[in-house]
Amino acid sequence: METGKIRKRIALNRFRDHLFWIIGLLSTLIGFVLLFTLIIDLFIDGFPRLTLQFFLSYPSRFPEKAGILSAWVGTILVMIVTAATAVPLGIAAGIYLEEYGKKNWLTHLIEINMNNLAGVPSIIYGLLALAFFVYFLKFGESILTGGLTLGLLILPMVVIATRESIRAIPNSIREASYALGATKWQTIKDHILPYSFGGILTGVIIGLSRAIGETAPIITVGALTFIAFLPTSPISSEFPFLSFKWLMDPFTVMPIQMFNWISRPQTAFHINAAAAGIVLLLLTLLMNGFAIYMRYRFRKRIKW
């Protein structure tokens, strides 16, 4: 080949290389642009509605009087149940798989199954909950049902986060602990768990933020969209001062309230939906941002 042709080809290759570099950058930016547009759009539509009254009012037929009081209270209560289910169960399962599980068919089966569960669409969990919690165990359309459903949904996320952060702990730590005469459980309790705390917490926060935004399984379970009252207070004036009656109360959550407002034809309700969307979006972004920051910090600080 003559030199001129080779030169041309090199130039062409360089050009393609640069062109792809630009295309890559632009493609990466699409996500940012969407996220940015989404936030701006919600704020333009809904920001004027974000008054104190909006947080302290029940839903209403009149869009300007309606608020998200029962929704945010419901979300908090459901999340308590979700965390109480998924966190202990998920951490325990994660510890078993990393520290105890031998390389046999049972551990292998649990692992494959966990990966598969993480890929099951959330609405299928809703169907499971509808048949099992609502009708078979007769929990009804209650906070307990909603919390348990979301707990099952985020269980694989907690397990995976627990396993990853336990795996990052070098074996020398375990051996040092055994050498001092500690039992397996003592080693786990005093060394493995404290050292993997950051990673586990990150996974739990990301899981809970997903549960907060999850709508489909809660609709399937039959959460009501119009709730103009609060569940029973968990603190009572009589002995024993703690009441668990709220677990069986009907409820609504933030994303359901937002969905309800979106599906109405009047624009005034769409403004309410946007305002609820801002609250929901900020909440999940803050939780995720915090989790990402924590992961970054823990990764920097710990050098084995």
Partner 1 sequence: MKRKLSTKIKERAIENLLLLSALSSIFITVSIVFILFYEALGFFKDVSLWEFLTGKQWTPLFAQPKFGILPLVCGTLLVTGIAVLVALPIGLIVAIYLSEYAPFKVKEVVKPILELLAAVPTVVYGYFALLFLTPILQKFIPNLSGFNALSPGIIMGIMIIPYVSSVSEDAMKAVPMHIREGSYAMGATKFQTAFKVVIPSAFSGIAAAFIIGISRAIGETMVVAIAAGMMPNLTLNPIEPIQTLTAYIVGVSLGDVPHGTLEYKTIFAAGITLFLMTLFLNILGFWFRKRIREVY
- What is the spatial distance between Cα 44 and Cα 41, in angstroms, rounded to a whole number? 5
Residue with tokens 């702990």: 169
Among residues 220, 227, 246, 251, the one that binds partner 1 under rule CB under 8 A: 220
Q: Which stretch binds partner 1 (CB under 8 A): 57-65, 166-174, 191-199, 285-293?
A: 285-293
* Residue 270, helix vs strand vs coil: helix
Angle, CA of 60, 75 and 92, to the nearest 5°? 165
**Minimum CB–partner distance for residue 10 and partner 1 (Å):** 8
Residues touching partner 1: how many (CB under 8 A)? Answer: 90
- Binding status of residue 50 toward partner 1 by CB under 8 A: no
Residue 147: how many other CB atoms lie within 10 Å: 25
Binding residues for partner 1 restricted to 56-115, rule: CB under 8 A: 88-90, 92-93, 95-97, 100-101, 109-110, 112-115
Binding residues for partner 1 restricted to 104-143, rule: CB under 8 A: 109-110, 112-117, 119-128, 130-132, 135
**Minimum CB–partner distance for residue 30 and partner 1 (Å):** 6
Binding residues for partner 1 restricted to 222-241, rule: CB under 8 A: 222, 225
- Binding status of residue 204 toward partner 1 by CB under 8 A: no
Find out whether 253 and 77 touch, Cβ atoms under 8 Å.
no
- Binding status of residue 170 toward partner 1 by CB under 8 A: no
- Binding status of residue 270 toward partner 1 by CB under 8 A: yes
Among residues 70, 209, 252, 272, the one that binds partner 1 under rule CB under 8 A: 209
Binding residues for partner 1 restricted to 148-167, rule: CB under 8 A: 152, 155-156, 159
Closer CB to partner 1, 112 or 245, in the complex? 112
**Minimum CB–partner distance for residue 89 and partner 1 (Å):** 5
Closer CB to partner 1, 14 or 65, in the complex? 14
Closer CB to partner 1, 131 or 176, in the complex? 131
Among residues 43, 50, 193, 210, the one that binds partner 1 under rule CB under 8 A: 210
Give helix then strand counts, H and E, for the chain: 12, 0
Closer CB to partner 1, 193 or 234, in the complex? 193
Among residues 11, 84, 176, 285, the one that binds partner 1 under rule CB under 8 A: 285
- Binding status of residue 266 toward partner 1 by CB under 8 A: no
Find out whether 158 and 82 touch, Cβ atoms under 8 Å.
no
Closer CB to partner 1, 6 or 176, in the complex? 6
Closer CB to partner 1, 211 or 246, in the complex? 211
